[in-house]
Structure 1
Amino acid sequence: MAKEDCDQTEKGSRGQSNSVVWCEQRQGRITSSNLGSVFNRKETTPPDNLVKVLCGYISFDNRFVKLGRDHEPAARNVAVEKSASQSTNHHQHGADRAVDNCVTTTLESNCCSHTDHKGSTTAWWRVDLDQLTTINAITIYYRAQYPHRFAGYQLYVSNSTSSPQDGVLCFEDISTTRDEVQMVVTHQCPYVCQYVTVYNYRNNQKRHDWYDDYAVLELCEVQVWGCPVGRYGDGKCDSVCSGNCLGGNCNATTGDCFYCVPQQYGIKCEMECPLNCLDRLCENIDGNCSGKERQIEVSVALTD
């Protein structure tokens, strides 16, 4: 560790077990407080639990990760190895580390991006998906044990990069306590976009006393579940949306159309609007006429 990092760790870890820095720096190290557990372990006792304790094992079996896993087979992670950028770099922890397909949430793993933590009032991270993409959900893995830095973040999707807050706000964290901040979380974000941005800020008067003083982002992985516009499928995005979908776009998982071209309706816009609808225009879902119904003249042949 550099002297700067050592000084920061010493200052941040005062209070020991009450300090998140102290907890993180103990991960993967044998210290005076756990040395006894190593020497006193019986040969007949399986080492699994002891290894987990020493390595700071964190279970990801929660409902938010399950939601991300449920989406994984249906749409693919379109952010992997795409071009990423961020407001500043902390040492070697560049933006691309959040799209390297590594979900380990410790800085020592070299899997996490990290913006500079000195004096910043705003911080942002962005991935360019290369093309317009239909998104279902976005999963974020944040650096473990640093909720005070992640808290208050915002998630945006956009088609431009003139400002970190361009586009549509998909989510904003409003946690009121440290424990409420979800460090691994999946957000539903059903939009079409090319860029995904994570943004955070700190006001002169912090929103909560437990917030970090400065705006910092430490993203270990950002997974964007979706498909390029016009495609959907089973993790490969190898199926083409129906030509009756308006703009050729559909749900990246199911292939269902968001809207139909005129005169069509149904889940995949496979049915024609009724003849009695004015201009053959009807509702996408049920086929009910959008406007007035027209009178259909029926000729009846009279016979003797």
Structure 2
Amino acid sequence: MGFYMCNLFKLYFWIYIWTYILYYTTCYDQLVFTNKTEVSSSSTYEDKDSRGSADKTIDKNVNQIYNNCMHTATGKKEAWLRLDLGDIYNLKSVKIWYRNDRGDNLNTKRLQGFSVLTSHSSDISLDDSNLCYEDPKNETLNTILEVECIQTARYVTIHKSDNEEAILEICEVEIYGCPRQSYGENCVPCDACKFECDVTGRCDGFGCVKNTANLGPYCKECKAGKYGEDCNNTCGHCARNDTCDNINGSCPGSCDAGYRGKNCLNACPFGKFGNDCNEKCGYCANNKTCHHISGSCNGSCEPGYYGEKCLTSCSSGRYGDECKEKCGHCVNNETCNHISGSCNGSCEAGYQGKKCLTACTSSKYGKDCQEKCGYCANNKTCHHISGSCPGSCEAGYYGETCLTGKTSVYLIDPTSMRKKIAYASDVRSKSMGEDKKLSPFEEEINNSLKK
């Protein structure tokens, strides 16, 4: 019998020891202190036997009967308990001893659906606080429970809301973690971080310190071409294939052609290309931008330009799309506008219009088509440049342009004219003693009368 009782005593002893280790010990610092931590609650329930004040949750008494616990007022839809740790800490977990004298099915029924919120300041509302834990409300909770809360904060609030009634009955609270700028079970300094870390050793947004001997659990040098948290980001287009900063991704020098920005991730803006995006795109068709690296136009050029980058104007005598059009007849052989094809001055004789491509219309010729054609036979038009008729002249006109008239010859009676010519010739011979001979004019008229 004595042997049996001895072994039973040993069994109960080890159960007690392991229970104490599981529930009352931790490798992280315990951050709640009776003489330093301040505590408050949303309300306080009082009756003739007890007062459920908030300070009972930090008195180091883990007895979980009603008189040792805080108790918020009944009839409220919101209840909370807030602890002010007095300084900002790297938090690991929050441990709660809840009332356990109501029966197994009722002990933590009022706690189901609770949440743990944190903040740096007491001025921050519950709605704006950081949520680090929320009970899913799908199972009965233990009366002693510890929830993870990886945050950096000074204020920790245990919160419960319910549309019917919200009540908290918490007997003791302990919060575990490390002083600021330290992490891990032994709260070692965050030497690998530029500024701060959380309780797991993960650095904040300022990242890791380069070339540190103690890189910590997260600060490992990224491979070339990678940067950022967990080295998940790819470096930009650094010049000369340089690797970027393993923390912020910035390039050590300039960017490759076609890119800009501290990290060289941004392509040149619209209308720019090349080194530092200083080059201006050419005249790409339809107002499209050029390739941000090479400057080449993806399609054709605007009228008046050619080449891969559409930067070269049409050569002399050419204009329009792909410079396929030939300039018109500009005066003095001047070249036309490389875009529109219009002549900068006037046209050569025989042509008209802005581009000097249109020959003078019927019955006109010469400079600016201001000259009127002569009397070409069969009502044919003259040459648009010289004004010459393509064949003979109308009756009564002669010359290349058929502008010289013979109309005076046909106004005189032929028989009468012959007599006058003979008489005039007679008189001249007698008075001058010359042989009878017609003057050139008389001879021409006489020949015309014989026709």
Change in CA separation of 1:156 and 1:60 when aligned onto 2, cut-off 3 Å: farther
Q: Summarize the alignment of residues 99-248 of structure 1 with structure 2, pairs less than 5 Å apart.
A: 99-108=58-67, 110=68, 112-117=69-74, 119-144=75-100, 145=102, 146-161=107-122, 162-176=124-138, 180-204=140-164, 214-232=165-183, 237=187, 239-242=188-191, 244-248=192-196
| Corresponding residue to 1:97 among 56, 59, 65 | 56
Paired position in structure 1 for 2:29: 76
Deviation at 1:102, TM superposition (A): 2.2
Query: Does the CA contact (< 8 Å) of 1:152 and 1:173 recur in 2?
Result: yes
Using structure 1 for the length normalisation, give the TM-score.
0.58
How many residues are paired up?
Answer: 212
How far the C-alpha of 1:151 sits from its partner, in A, is 1.9
**Structure 1's 150 and 99: CA in aligned 2 closer, same or farther, altered over 3 A?**
same
Give CA-to-partner distance per residue, 1:39-89, whole Å, 9 cap, x none: xxxxxx98xx9xxxxxxxxx9978xx83x656x12x111123210000112
Counterpart code for 1:154: S
Cα distance per residue 1:143-166 (max 9 Å; x no partner): 113222222222111223343344
Within-5 A mapping of 1:254-265: 256-259=201-204, 260-261=207-208, 263=210
Matched, 1:267 2:216: yes
Match for 1:282 among 192, 217, 227?
227
Deviation of residue 269 (structure 1)? 6.7
| Secondary structure, counterpart of 2:227 in structure 1 | coil
Percent identical residues? 24
Q: 2: distance between equivalents of 1:216 and 1:231? A: 36
Aligned letter for 1:267? G
What's the offset of the Cα at 1:284?
A: 4.7
SS of the aligned residue for 1:150 comes to: coil
**Structure 1 residues 246, 191: closer, same or farther in 2, change over 3 A?**
farther
* Contact map agreement 2:193 2:209 (CA 8 A) in 1: no
Match of 2:235 in 1: 291
C-alpha deviation, 1:113, in angstroms? 1.5
Distance 1:284 1:174, change over 3 A: closer
Distance 2:211 2:235 in 1: 15
Helix, strand or coil at the partner of 1:248: coil
Mark the structure with the bigger radius of gyration.
2
Cα deviation 1:78-128 (Å, max 9, x = unaligned): 1232100001122333212112222221123x3x222122x1111110001
SS at match of 2:117: strand
What is the root-mean-square deviation in Å for CA atoms of aligned residues? 3.5
Give the match's secondary structure for 1:194: strand
Would you say the 8 A contact 1:151–1:175 is kept in 2?
A: yes
The normalised TM-score by structure 2 is 0.41
SS in 1 for 2:109: helix
Matched with 1:251 is 199
Which residue is equivalent to 1:85? 40
Amino acid in the other structure paired with 2:70: S
What is the rounded CA distance, in whole Å, between the counterparts of 2:43 and 2:82 in structure 1? 12
Amino acid at match of 1:95: A
Residue 217 of structure 1 and its aligned partner are, at CA, apart by 0.9
The amino acid of 2:93's aligned partner reads A
Could you tell me how far 1:131 is from its partner in structure 2?
Answer: 1.7
Taking a change above 3 Å as real, the CA distance of residues 61 and 166 of structure 1, as seen in their structure-2 partners, is farther
